[in-house]
Amino acid sequence: MNDQIVPVITIDGPSGAGKGTIAQMLALDLKWNILDSGALYRTLAYFMSKNHIALRDFEKKLEFIKENFIVKFDPGVADEPVKVIFHDQDITNKVRNEEIAKKTSFLASDPLIRTFIKPCQREFKELPGLIADGRDMGTVIFTDAQLKVFLTASLEERAKRRQTQLKRQGSEVNMRLLLQELEERDKKDTEREHSPLRPADDSVIIDTSNLNPKEVLKEIKKYIQI
Ligand code: C5P
């Protein structure tokens, strides 16, 4: 039996705090697996919408969902988003947009959805190690992680980053609208009853507002003893 410990580093925080960039840099640097749990929730929202599955029918369709919800992540290359692979098809651009983000935030506050996603997330814990990016990676999913990081940044800075990211993907977005959407999503994520967004008690909290990704990575590496 292989009972080797699989090390996990969790990176939690609100949208635009830099989780995706930092998780990718760490995964590429350490050559570990990556779980982008936000993208996993986004993919479920995309999958349900494509198959016309309403939340109220989730339990009824559970077997079909379990059989067909097959997602993988590829850390890809620096400066490009982590790739979301659904049934061997790259659906990154289909799920990384604000329309899906809104649907996702609604779905993700439902306990049925969170219960379904929990074991899916834990399956990504494989050797040589896992970088898990999300909202509740350190507080709920991988409570025994070797290192827990919580990234924050001001709302304005996070909106600016999101705008740059969306522009790079070819979507033009209005800054005022983006600020409003981020604020609403933050509120929903932090105030929800199930797995609200909050730093784990044993996490390292880093405010990235005035740091570039390399500086954040350097800061995190001070805590890696794996
Ligand atoms: O990180 P990202 O913006 O892709 O996440 C999309 C949405 O998925 C978040 O707004 C949040 O509602 C939800 N989410 C979550 N728990 C996670 C990751 C994401 O509820 N671990």
Express as a percent the part of the chain with pLDDT over 90.
81
**pLDDT over 80 (residue 171):** no
Is 135 touching ligand 1 by the criterion CB < 6 Å?
yes
Tell how far the Cα of 107 is from the centroid of ligand 1, in angstroms: 10
**pTM higher than 0.85, yes or no?**
yes
Instruction: Give the distance (Å) from ligand 1 centre to CA of residue 1.
Output: 35
What pLDDT band is residue 168 in, cutting at 50, 70 and 90?
Answer: confident
Q: For ligand 1, is residue 134 a contact (CB within 6 Å)? A: yes
As a whole number, mean pLDDT of residues 182-194 equals 89
Residue 134: beta bridge partners? 12
Cα 194 to ligand 1 centroid, rounded to whole Å: 13
Which residues have a Cβ under 8 Å from the Cβ of 182 and sit 6 or more positions away?
Answer: 14, 15, 16, 155, 158, 159, 162
CB 128 within 8 A of CB 32: yes
Angle at 97 between CA 102 and CA 37, to 5 degrees: 75
- Tell me the C-alpha distance between 63 and 149, whole Å: 35
- Best of 24, 104, 124 to mutate for ligand 1, by most ligand atoms within 8 A of CB? 104
- Pocket test residue of 82, 84, 135 for ligand 1, highest count of atoms within 8 A of CB: 135
Taking only the tens place, the pLDDT of each residue in 75-132 is 999 988 999 999 999 999 999 887 898 899 889 999 999 999 999 999 999 999 999 9
Residue 189 Cα: closest atom of ligand 1: 12
Q: Give the Cα separation of 66 and 52 in Å (integer).
A: 16
Q: State residue 42's pLDDT score.
A: 97
Residue nearest to atom 14 of ligand 1 (CA): 38
Average pLDDT, the chain: 93
